[in-house]
């Protein structure tokens, strides 16, 4: 019988949320940290984005994972027969880890780390009903910080799908990889899904869907600030904008003020000129040699690389050089 434990980690107090928001909006250019997209509603919007045909990242990675899981099963078999733990960073709805669980029967413990509390607990309950023998630990935690895991696992495989690493800039991505090594411990692996550089039109469509789902996801951060930080953003007064910035190799997502306006957040006024933007998210794209170098700088070497057709997406198996 599996057990589900919730680790009650205090993620961010209201004060931390408020100070992050005020710091970002008092900067020039204005920014907001993308981790605040993800309350229960934001996680639901992200799932809706994943079902859009133009958001190729989700389905392309999902299609590649059965091959990856089979290869990984052979690879791990040679290395360790004694039981394995998977630790998923930014676990979301847990729709991808099942591929690994089915292909690698030695996995006996699963730790799911995510910042979106309610969504994580509900996804773990669903997984628990499907894998009754698996011990599952949901962990509400900011994955950019190292974590002391409560299991006493022998070999751990980190799992970081969805190209979530693309939401971190290069320095933050290196820091994440360093911290992941601390969390996972010696002799660990990291299986990581990373989006590749490709034609601008494909990227443009992926982040600008015609149904407006990505726009709702983007604006959810304002809705959340209104609700949790006593603010008065008018959502209709901001427009969703996403474009590829070739110089930086990233898709940028912005919320652009459609008029000059003053918004109050917990009593503090924030001025917007017409056309001024809040930079809400980056999604960095990597050619495989670029990502190999980034991983190497953080002490990881690439053991295997799987590429989707037309190099649309890449999954790397990294091994830490302890």
Ligand X SMILES: C[S@@+](CC[C@H](N)C(=O)[O-])C[C@H]1O[C@@H](n2cnc3c(N)ncnc32)[C@H](O)[C@@H]1O
- Binding flag, residue 17, ligand X (CB under 6 A): no
Mapped onto helix, strand or coil, the DSSP state of residue 246 is: coil
Segment lying near ligand X (by CB under 6 A), choices 35-43, 70-78, 100-108, 202-210: 35-43
Q: Which sign, positive or negative, has the C-alpha torsion 210, 46, 188, 97? A: negative
Among 45, 69, 90, 111, binds ligand X (CB under 6 A): 90
Nearer to ligand X, 65 or 222 (CB): 65
Residue 269, phi then psi, degrees to nearest 5: -80, 135
* C-beta neighbour count of 118 within 10 angstroms: 12
Among 30, 96, 219, 254, binds ligand X (CB under 6 A): 96
Asked whether position 242 contacts ligand X by CB under 6 A, the answer is no
Helix (H) or strand (E) holding 89: strand 84-89
Residue number, 138 or 162, with CB nearest to ligand X: 162
Nearest to ligand X of 143, 272 (CB atom) = 143
* Residue 143 near ligand X by CB under 6 A: yes
Of 114, 128, 209, 281, the one binding ligand X (CB under 6 A) is 114
| One residue of 9, 122, 144, 179 binding ligand X per CB under 6 A | 144
Question: Segment 57-76, which members bind ligand X (CB under 6 A)?
Answer: none
Of 118 and 303, which CB lies nearer to ligand X in the complex structure? 118
158 binds ligand X (CB under 6 A): no
What's the chain's length in residues?
A: 322
Q: Name the residue nearer to ligand X (CB basis): 46 or 238.
A: 46
Q: Residue 242 and residue 72: Cα distance in Å, rounded?
A: 35
Q: What is the dihedral of CA 69, 74, 77, 78, to 10 degrees?
A: -140
Task: Answer yes or no whether residue 155 interacts with ligand X by CB under 6 A.
Answer: no
Residues pairing with 251 in the sheet: 244, 283
Contact between 38 and ligand X by CB under 6 A: the answer reads: yes
Is residue 286 close enough to count as binding ligand X by CB under 6 A? no
Cβ of 167: how many Cβ atoms within 10 Å? 21
Say how many C-beta atoms besides its own lie within 10 A of residue 269's C-beta. Answer: 8
At residue 102, the 3 state secondary structure works out as helix
Residue 9 is a binding residue for ligand X (CB under 6 A): no
How far CA 249 is from CA of 186, 207, 307, in Å, comes to 32, 15, 19
Q: Tell which one of 162, 250, 285, 286 touches ligand X (CB under 6 A).
A: 162
- Quick one: 190 exposed, middle or buried, by C-beta within 10 A (0-12, 13-18, 19+)? buried
State the nearest-atom distance from the C-beta of 114 to ligand X, in Å: 5
Judged by the rule CB under 6 A, the positions of this chain that interact with ligand X are: 35, 38, 43, 46, 90-92, 96, 113-116, 142-144, 161-162, 164
């Amino acid at each position: 019988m599996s057990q589900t434990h919730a680790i009650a980690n205090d993620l961010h107090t209201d004060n931390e949320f408020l100070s992050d928001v005020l710091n970002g909006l008092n900067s020039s250019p204005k920014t907001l940290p993308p981790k605040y997209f993800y309350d229960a509603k934001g996680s639901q919007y992200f799932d809706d984005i994943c079902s859009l045909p133009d958001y190729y990242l989700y389905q392309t990675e999902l299609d590649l994972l059965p091959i990856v899981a089979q290869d990984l099963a052979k690879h791990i078999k040679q290395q360790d027969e004694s039981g394995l733990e998977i630790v998923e960073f930014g676990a979301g709805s847990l729709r991808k880890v099942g591929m690994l669980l089915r292909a690698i029967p030695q996995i006996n413990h699963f730790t799911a780390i995510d910042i979106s509390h309610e969504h994580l607990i509900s996804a773990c309950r669903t997984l628990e009903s499907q894998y009754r023998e698996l011990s599952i630990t949901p962990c509400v935690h900011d994955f950019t910080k190292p974590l002391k895991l409560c299991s006493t696992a022998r070999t751990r495989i980190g799992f970081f799908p969805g190209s979530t690493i693309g939401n971190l800039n290069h320095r933050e991505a290196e820091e994440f990889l360093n911290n992941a090594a601390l969390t996972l411990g010696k002799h660990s692996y990291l299986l990581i899904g990373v989006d590749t550089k490709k034609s601008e039109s494909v990227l443009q469509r992926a982040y600008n869907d015609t149904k407006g789902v990505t726009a709702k996801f983007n604006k959810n951060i304002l809705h959340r600030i209104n609700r949790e930080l006593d603010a008065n953003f008018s959502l209709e007064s901001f427009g969703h904008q996403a474009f590829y910035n070739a110089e930086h190799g990233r898709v940028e997502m912005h919320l652009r003020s459609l008029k000059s306006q003053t918004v109050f957040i917990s009593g503090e006024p924030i001025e917007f000129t017409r056309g001024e933007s809040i930079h809400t998210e980056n999604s960095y794209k990597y050619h495989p040699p670029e990502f190999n170098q980034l991983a190497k700088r953080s002490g990881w070497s690439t053991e295997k690389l799987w590429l989707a057709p037309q190099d649309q997406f890449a999954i790397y198996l990294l091994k830490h050089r302890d």
